[in-house]
């Protein structure tokens, strides 16, 4: 059974006029895959991520997550799936600037059923996984851009999600910092089995994945395996 199944998916924005963002998109993603969804600005890739992450609803077609559609979940169950089974990493980090890395990473646990006594240990484990233990007590405003994105990944990891959505995670970073971020995502996929869905407009970044889905004008242009997968350089702490 596929983790994600999308069939004839459409998204139409209505604001006086109808603007189609997705036009009959179909694909499936199995648990443990690392898939890049790429395309130029306006191709529909971020819209698709928001639908897959239960942050928005599609207009037509069908989206099944773990063989259930969003209509099969109650509002409480949707919130639980987003918090427990999905982690999100965005281009702009979305960290609290005058709060420590540890406190930022613990934030998703506030909305979980995990007992507070375990929050510190889970957050520290996630921070260690991204090589940021030496900056744990620093405020996020004191970190470099690459370190902030690593903190954001740790926050996405803290609930041990089944799937991580990364929307242009290297977009605000220099090439070296971006390389570290891609190495972390590869490690989470290769060694820990997390399903990764990466949104990017860069072929160089997409080739870190195992498979690339290319969108153009809201339609799938191609869906191919990566023949020569790019391996990020050795992780530098």
Residue 27 is predicted with a pLDDT of 98
**Are 214 and 220 spatial neighbours (Cβ–Cβ below 8 Å)?**
yes
pLDDT digits (tens, 9 = 90+) for 105-127: 999 999 888 999 999 999 999 99
- What token pair was written down for 68? 């259930």
Residue 233 is predicted with a pLDDT of 57
pLDDT digits (tens, 9 = 90+) for 2-58: 999 999 999 999 988 999 999 999 999 999 999 999 999 899 999 999 999 999 999
Residue 228 is predicted with a pLDDT of 84
Judge whether residue 235 has pLDDT over 50.
Answer: no
Strands (E), the chain: 4-15, 17-29, 34-38, 60-65, 68-69, 86-90, 163-167, 195-200, 211-216, 219-225
Residue 164 is predicted with a pLDDT of 97
pLDDT digits (tens, 9 = 90+) for 123-178: 999 999 999 999 999 999 999 999 999 999 999 999 999 999 999 999 999 989 99
**pLDDT cut 70: percent of the chain above it:** 97
Q: Considering the entire predicted model, what is its pTM?
A: 0.93
CA distance 129 to 184: 8
CB atoms within 10 A of CB 140: 21
**Are 172 and 92 spatial neighbours (Cβ–Cβ below 8 Å)?**
yes
Judge whether residue 234 has pLDDT over 70.
Answer: no
pLDDT digits (tens, 9 = 90+) for 191-233: 999 999 999 999 989 999 999 999 999 999 999 999 888 876 5
Model confidence at 1, pLDDT cuts 50, 70, 90, reads: confident
């Amino acid at each position: 059974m596929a983790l994600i199944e999308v069939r004839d998916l459409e998204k139409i924005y209505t604001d006086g006029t109808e603007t189609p963002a997705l036009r009959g998109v179909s694909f499936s993603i199995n648990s443990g895959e690392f898939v890049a969804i790429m395309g130029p600005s306006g191709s529909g890739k971020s819209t698709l991520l928001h639908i897959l992450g239960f942050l928005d609803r599609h207009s037509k077609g069908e989206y099944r997550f773990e063989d259930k559609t969003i209509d099969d979940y109650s509002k409480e169950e949707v919130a639980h799936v987003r918090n427990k089974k999905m982690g999100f990493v965005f281009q702009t980090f979305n960290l609290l600037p005058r709060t420590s890395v540890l406190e930022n990473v613990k934030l998703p646990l506030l909305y979980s059923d995990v007992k507070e006594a375990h929050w510190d240990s889970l957050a520290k484990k996630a921070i260690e996984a991204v090589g940021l233990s030496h900056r744990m007590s620093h405020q996020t405003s004191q970190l470099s851009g690459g370190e902030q994105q690593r903190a954001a990944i740790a926050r996405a990891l803290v609930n041990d999600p089944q799937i991580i959505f990364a929307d242009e995670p290297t977009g605000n970073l220099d090439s070296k910092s971006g390389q570290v971020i891609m190495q972390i995502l590869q490690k989470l996929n290769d060694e820990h089995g997390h399903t990764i869905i990466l949104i990017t407009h860069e072929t160089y970044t997409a080739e870190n994945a195992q498979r690339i889905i290319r969108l153009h004008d809201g339609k799938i242009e191609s869906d191919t395996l990566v023949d020569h997968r790019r391996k990020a350089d050795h992780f530098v702490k």
